[in-house]
Structure 1
Amino acid sequence: MSLQMDISFACECGEHVEDIVYVQDPDFSAEKNKDSQTDSWQEVFCPSCDKEYTVQVTNTFYSAMASIDYGDVDVNYGMPYYPEDETDELYWYIDSKTHHEILQSHLKSVRTLLEVEVPPDTLFSLWVMLHGHVVSAIEGYLAGIFIHKVTNSEELIRKLVETDPEFSKRTFTLKEIFEKQSNLKVTVATYLKDLIFHDLKKVKPMFKDVLGHDFGDISWLFKDVVKRHDCVHRAGYNKDGEAIEVSKDSVLELLEKVEALADSVEATVGKLDEPNDLPF
């Protein structure tokens, strides 16, 4: 089974490109990390203008990265992973009712870690990791609660089809219609899971159109998602090599905003019945 990595970048035409690339194993015969490097090159196409990009994927014992040697294209990439049994994961999203509890557990752990005594010269690294963890936790919550609510309601699936241009324009053969109707939950969950839930430009209108929840002004979350990128991919430094602004107070402030955001979502979705009215 091959390692995979999620990547995304902005095409020069303005389209947001998302794809999965394969990650070659490092050279396990090497004795040192610097000698374990492997490289592979894969083609990724923009779905809007069909422009072809060559993505270089580099892997070593300790880290992996993706890059595009073209203009000023900045590639966002995640940690390499082995694909799980996707169906099992999808059914977890569909069936689980614990998304808010999981988020609360993450946030409680962060508050505890903020009080741990560590050497002063390690505080920055701690705050960087905690900032990234909090943002990842709220992204996971938003994805989980949305998928769970939508896939368990025929009415909400209909709203998704009516309001989401990408999903509604999909075409199926008559055979596929019957096949997908019998497994509609997984079809919808697969589509939603493939969305990048930190692309708030997509997520915000979907919550409003489908669940009836208005996030209001979440410009702070847009900024914290960008900061999370520097936390995860540059260990707390921006492209200019400057340390980002992060502190105990900033993490606490982020915690409070995330808790308030999740509570407001819970107040909205709590009013939605879960009739599980799908006829299959």
Structure 2
Amino acid sequence: MTTTRTLNNGVEMPALGFGVFQTPPEETTAAVAEALRLGYRLIDTAAAYGNEREVGEAVRRSGLDRSEVFLETKLWITDYGYDGALHGFDKSADKLGVEQIDLLLLHQPVPTDFERTIGAYTALEKLLADGRVRAIGISNVMPDVLANLREQTDVVPAVNQVEVHPYFTQADVQAADAEHGILTQAWSPMGGITSYGGDSGGSTFEDPVIGEIADAHGVTAAQVMLRWHLQQGRSAIPKSVRPERIAANFDVFGFELTADELTRIDALDTGVRCGPEPASITPEAFDREIPEA
């Protein structure tokens, strides 16, 4: 199994990354530094997380050449519109301390103001053409919104980052992404959100099917779920601030799930979303100004 994914514009990206959603800034630098020390080379952050500066600091302290680390971040909706998104890029690049961002996503579509969403994506296309980003993409975009986006823009997104875990597989989203050559990247890939969000009927970490498969391979439930993503061709970005879990989440290349085990995990899908409903995202409800510094 390949440990990288080749995006639709030819850019190569690590399949397994390290996420910093909800990681406090004061803990981010140490967590990312540990991830890089262990071998992670894809780091995912976002303007709205408030920790881009600390991610950049960890990369600089790592001693790794900039070309060895794939940096991914996301623009928040308050920086949408063409000019707003260009400025949003500048803010993120300054905080990360880089001139070029490897993958830049729109964090959410805004159905109630889709014109500004299109304007922001058009700005991403400009940044791509100018070489300021290596690839562009989207996040939390459903098939109907993707179709609308494709009708009004030129560059096919390279990535769609969405909620995907054993209890919520979003098969329709994955199919639409695949139809357009878009890589599906899973946030909350191990279903951590099932422990505190929505009503999925329980935690994926305590699921007996996943537990049985984990026991059969002598690994953890988390490792089984990450391996499930990778074997099915997705990218995944687990997060943790605990060194032992950061290490375990990266140690998923020494075993292989059978076709039957993959099918059994697929069958756990409840169809219940735990994260925000993408159609509910409005500037009024999610007004969050991204600071300059």
- After TM superposition, the score normalised by the length of structure 1 is 0.28
TM superposition score normalised by structure 2: 0.27
Using CA pairs below 8 Å that are at least 6 residues apart, which structure has the higher relative contact order? Answer: 2
